[in-house]
Amino acid sequence: MKICIMGQGYIGLPTAALFTRSHCEVVGVDINEKIIENLNKGIIHIEEPGITDIIKNAIKLKVYKASLTPEKADAFIITVPTPYISENYSCDLSYVITACETIIPYLEKGNTVIIESTIAPMSTDETIKPIFEKAGFTIGKDLYLAHCPERVLPGKIIHELVHNDRIIGGVTPECAVKASEVYGQFVEGNLMLTEAKTAELSKCMENTFRDVNIALANELAKICAEIGVNALDVIKLANKHPRVNLHSPGPGVGGHCLAIDPYFIYAKAPETAKIIKLARDTNNSMPDFVCENVKKIIPKGKIAVFGVSYKGNTGDDRESPAYEIIAKLSTNYEIAIHDPHIENPDFVSFAEAVENADLILILCDHNEFKHLDYNFISKNMANPVIFDTKNIIKKVPNKIKLFNYGNLYELN
């Protein structure tokens, strides 16, 4: 089977890798010339365990190549970004539409087209299907169209793409069957066949569920800071209940999924989806909450920001709330950013960030931040203070002051 994958990012590239491992021929298409050039040399632009070795081996076996243009194939998979339109929170389908229009000259009767990009409910039927019908195809007869969303955790993408159950949403039952045959090449989890619109809403609701629950924890952290209660103790004790699982509060929600997908539902029914919108507003308010408490801890000086990735132990900084926090603080503070997982010429080493800093602000739960060199910190900070917004540091020496969401009420 030959597969053409449109988009070679956090989802497209791992998906391509796994198809090659299952002896499929894969063409990975992207509009970024530098990414294409590097991929064909085996140079990978995302941090994800296992991908580099698979792609290098696929290149060696001549079953993978990166390209700026599609090729004829048995199946086409669309994995391009779907941002939201800030004016009305709706799903921006422009990249998906462009990708679909781009593959039309390469389509043949009997091909399968799969949209993996997260899209708003009804998008496949109302927007994507007409593109191919206009080109002369009959969906479910000579072209098979489906929406098959991914559900993966950065840092474990290869494992989860293989082992997680997969939703296969066909425009027709025949489309679902054909799409399941494509993923059957490597997916070991259950292939759950359904309608495209059901698959679309299921994917959005998976991330909305998580976003709403994080918002509940973040709201609790705010309440506790206001009334003088340790939020972390509340969560720990409440979770002893056999049917309670409160999440951990944090500096906000990032990533392409949780920070965006709930809006796709809200935009479809804004008068009804009130909880979803309120949760988004709550999570979007956390950068301001962090900045307010930073100002209470130190009114001026240098801040060593530790971590800008939205997800610990990855280099994925899409929609990271850290950038909003940094932008807000940079107007009044000197900022030094340290993130061992992201290559950025403006970022500095641990030592450079800590040197003469007045506060260490932890915004990401990288493993490197869970056990810091406290001796170095004590010697190089005049008055050592850490504000841990990810609640990953359990204990510090007496000479270091630690703030987290358990004791912010001390600042009031």
- The Cα–Cα gap between 70 and 99 comes to 10
Contact call for residues 95 and 81 (beta carbons, < 8 A): yes
**Main-chain dihedrals φ then ψ at residue 22, nearest 5 degrees:** -100, 20
Work out the burial of residue 244: count CB atoms within 10 Å of its CB; fewer than 13 is exposed, 13-18 middle, 19 or more buried.
exposed
- For 194-226, give the DSSP string: EEHHHHHHHHHHHHHHHHHHHHHHHHHHHHHHH
Closest to 351 in 3D by CA, of 398, 319, 304: 304
- The Cα–Cα gap between 75 and 97 comes to 17
Q: Is 43 helix (H, G, I), strand (E, B) or coil?
A: coil
Q: Is 203 a catalytic residue?
A: yes
Q: How many Cβ atoms from other residues are within 10 Å of residue 24's Cβ?
A: 21
Q: How many Cβ atoms from other residues are within 10 Å of residue 26's Cβ?
A: 25
Task: Catalytic residue, from 100, 148, 178, 203: name it.
Answer: 203
Task: Catalytic residue, from 24, 257, 291, 364: name it.
Answer: 257
- The Cα–Cα gap between 377 and 283 comes to 31
- The Cα–Cα gap between 59 and 233 comes to 52
Strand runs labelled E in 123-282: 143-147, 166-170, 191-195
Residue positions annotated with a catalytic role:
203, 257
